[in-house]
Chains A and B, each alone.
Chain A
Amino acid sequence: MTPDRTLSGATRRRVGQGERKPWRSGGPRDTLRLALYLSAVLVATLVHEPGVLAGGMGIALVCCGRMRGVLLRKAFFAVLPVNLMISAGLVLAGGLAGSIDGNALLLLNLRVLLLSLLVAWTVHAVDFDRVLARWPAARRWLAIVRIHIGLLQRQASDYRIAFASRSAEPPTLATRYRAVAAHGLGLLDKAVQNAEATTLAMRSRGALDD
């Protein structure tokens, strides 16, 4: 079974350990980590020295612990298209003007990567269920949305595999659009019915009485 990528690392660990403790108050460690992240974001956007940003990146990597390789790779690939696009534009504009601004190029790439790494660390280290414990309605909505993103992604993947296996030869674009529209609306029906049934079940068990 693959882990649910829509859950934070901290939530996955808690669920994986089979912990059943009801979270009635926000965990102070999670709140502290969230505050640390927000402070680091503010500092990263106020600093304009590439050397200082590189130092910040080093500190962030130390804070990531053993997961630093995974988190750095995740952060790097998340911002790679944007960084490449803007860097190529800067190099092109600089090349046409006769001088490429290496400092601006380094500053932009370092800042975007550092902020992306900070997000990856926060998602890994902070249990958002605990942080949202004081707002049960927000927590419930987030949980339902998270579940449905996972479900819809899995159903869409199942559909792609099923459609490919049923097609003897490559379908035309029009056929694909028609099939996607019909299947998509069917999925939507199913998702709404599932969500309504789940809500009714939760209501009948008193889970929505807070």
Chain B
Amino acid sequence: MHIPDGLLSPQTWLPAFAIAVPLWALGARRLAHTMGDAVVPRLAVFTALAFLMSTLMVPLPGGTSGHAVGVSLLTLVFGPWPAFMAYSLVLLLQALVIGAGGVTALPVNALAMGFVGAWTTVGCVALLGRLHHEAAIAVAAVASILLSALIVALVLGLQPWIASAADGSPRFFPFGPAVTVPAILIPHLFLAAGEAALTVLILRHARKRHWVGVTTP
């Protein structure tokens, strides 16, 4: 669900940077406390895994793409702040290495997928974890994908209202929420099911190997 460069107006990406930069600074400080010699290699490997999971992209009509994310997995193994930081790095690498996403869209992508995705996972597991732990993890993965996709769809869909020429022609992304929300959310319903299965499978393995460290904020 990456938004590429050139589809967001400066009225959108500049405020998004103003929100994301302090969160990255706070995340870096939190990460510095948890980054021991045991955590660094695991976090690096899981970050690389998230990069690969989100590399297989299908372009969607809503101006973005569909792919697995891996934020829920990162959150459940390392906690929400390391997950947010790791996924921001994934997005930056994708923008620079394979041209997916973009630098101006980075804060919006990072906030939607990394920050909201991570905290949605934490919230769902905290709420539903006592009922059935693995079901809660699956629900958390689905909810984090769908909520992130909804935010991306709304941010894109608001562009014609935020930045249009005097004659009403769009200067950035041309379609409104009536197009973007269904175009992005419907394919993500299927992708979210796949993401949930992957998250449960890999997390089960990570627990067996005692890799799971911080699970609460």
The smallest beta-carbon distance between A50 and chain B, in angstroms, is 11
> With A86-B174, A188-B202 in contact, do A48 and B165 touch (Cβ < 8 Å)?
yes
Q: Of the listed stretches A57-65, A164-172, A198-206, name the one at the interface; the rest are far from the partner chain.
A: A198-206
Q: Which residues on A are within 8 Å of B, measured CB to CB? A: 5-6, 8, 41-42, 44-46, 48, 74-75, 78-79, 81-82, 84-86, 89-90, 93, 101, 103-104, 107-108, 111-116, 119-120, 122-123, 137-138, 140-142, 144-146, 148-149, 151-153, 156, 181, 185, 188-189, 191-192, 195-196, 198-200, 203, 208
Contacts of A113 in B (CB 8 A): 6
Alpha-carbon distance A116/B97, docked complex (angstroms): 11
Known pairs A79-B99, A104-B170, A115-B6; list 17 more (Cβ under 8 Å): A74-B99, A82-B4, A84-B59, A86-B7, A89-B174, A108-B172, A112-B5, A123-B97, A140-B40, A145-B51, A148-B48, A149-B93, A152-B49, A185-B202, A191-B48, A192-B41, A195-B45
Residue of B nearest to A80 (CB): B59
Q: Is B209 positioned at the interface, with any CB of A under 8 Å from its CB?
A: yes
Alpha-carbon distance A90/B63, docked complex (angstroms): 11
Alpha-carbon distance A156/B51, docked complex (angstroms): 13
> With A79-B99, A123-B96, A137-B35 in contact, do A46 and B41 touch (Cβ < 8 Å)?
no
Q: Is B131 positioned at the interface, with any CB of A under 8 Å from its CB?
A: no
Contacts of A116 in B (CB 8 A): 4-6, 99, 102
Contacts of A46 in B (CB 8 A): 10
Pair B41/A195 contact, Cβ less than 8 Å? yes
Alpha-carbon distance A45/B9, docked complex (angstroms): 7
Residue of A nearest to B6 (CB): A112
Instruction: Tell me what chain A mostly uses at the interface: helix, strand, loop, or mixed.
Output: helix
Pair B59/A115 contact, Cβ less than 8 Å? no
The smallest beta-carbon distance between B10 and chain A, in angstroms, is 5
Contacts of B9 in A (CB 8 A): 45
Alpha-carbon distance A201/B52, docked complex (angstroms): 26
Contact partner of B174 among A41, A108, A144, A185, CB < 8 A? A108
Pair B51/A149 contact, Cβ less than 8 Å? yes
Q: Is B207 positioned at the interface, with any CB of A under 8 Å from its CB?
A: no
The 6 listed contacts between A and B (C-beta, < 8 Å) are A103-B169, A108-B174, A115-B4, A181-B201, A195-B42, A203-B37
Contacts of A185 in B (CB 8 A): 201-202, 205
One digit per residue, 1 when the CB lies within 8 angstroms of any chain A CB and 0 when it does not, for chain B 63-79 equals: 11100000000000000
Pair B165/A79 contact, Cβ less than 8 Å? no
Residue of B nearest to A102 (CB): B169
The smallest beta-carbon distance between A193 and chain B, in angstroms, is 9
